[in-house]
Amino acid sequence: MIYQMVLAAADTTSAAEEVAEVTQDTVEEVSRMTQILQDNIPQIISFAFQVVLALVFFFIGRCLIKWVRKVVRRSFERSKADTGVATFVDSLLKYGLYFLLIFSIAARFGVDTASVAALVASSGVTLGLALQGSLSNFAGGVLILLLKPFEVGDYIVEDTNMKEGTVKEIQIFYTKLSTIDNQTIVIPNGMLTNNSLTNATAKDERRLDLKISVSYEADLREAKSLIEKIVTEDPCVMQDKEILVFVDDLAESAVVIGARAWVRNEEFWPTKWRILEEIKLKLDENGIAIPYPQVTVHMQEKK
């Protein structure tokens, strides 16, 4: 029993010594950290002041950039410049000014600007190879603004992928189209300059081409007369332009009658929809059928 009590007292003494040792190590570590903080307080305060100053400088610079962009946009509006040019310049001005702002802040923190410039110059080839698509899109945007294959407000069709819509914005790298059902299509400028496209609204006038199928049993002359009358009497059809109604094709199941007339660009779709509806109603009233594809099968009895 006495032996066990001696062992317990020894264990208690050992544990107390370990606790005292750990406590001493902790106190020494805290003392070292405190000393380090005390020795570097001026540097920490200086760094914190520079960070706050950089943030203030950034927010002031951002306000100045917004003001400069606003002034430039108003100058474009007063000069009635092309909307695409104004959008492109605004995007270029935005990215350029933000780059200068960040570069100035970095220089404020003591970054060697000469080294940064040398680094940018040396990595130019690498960036050029890595950003071939972006550079191609940038060059495409410049070509679009210089050559003007289309402008903001034009209705274009990208012939390769058959993307079409009204041009809303011409930015540095992309052009935004708005479709008839109010969807937004974003097309890289490089694709628009490297592929063919159709500008449906480049001219003030647009030709309206219609194809109407009638059955072989119908009175062809009557059908042509009805279609010609509807097209000619439509208020949006330009009467001083040529109006044609003709047999366009003798198809397998129908005679295809073609009609051509000229309308103003902004009236193209409403006129087309209205004329097609009038033709369908008028043909129905006169008993002229519009056939659908069909196959006639003849059965022969075996003798």
Could you report the average pLDDT of every consecutive run of 10 residues in the chain (303 residues)? 52 62 70 67 69 79 84 74 70 78 72 60 54 72 81 86 87 86 88 86 88 91 93 92 92 91 90 94 91 72 64
Strand partners, 178: 166, 184
Q: Give yes or no: residues 216 and 234 share one domain.
A: yes
| 19 within some domain | no
Name the residue type at position 253: S
pLDDT at site 15: 62
pLDDT at site 295: 67
**Helix (H) or strand (E) run with residue 30 in it:** helix 2-79
Q: Give yes or no: residues 260 and 228 share one domain.
A: yes
End-to-end CA distance of the chain: 127
Q: Which among 255, 154, 145 has a CA at the least distance from the CA of 197? A: 154
Structure tokens at 231: 């097209």
Q: CATH number, domain at 190?
A: 2.30.30.60
Total domain count, the chain: 2
| 281 within some domain | yes
Q: Which of 169, 199, 229 is the last residue of a domain?
A: 199
Q: Give yes or no: residues 239 and 275 share one domain.
A: yes
Question: In which domain, by residue range, is 144 found?
Answer: 134-199
Q: Give yes or no: residues 169 and 217 share one domain.
A: no
| 238 within some domain | yes
pLDDT at site 230: 94
d(CA 192, CA 163): 11
d(CA 228, CA 232): 6
pLDDT at site 214: 93
Q: Give yes or no: residues 214 and 186 share one domain.
A: no
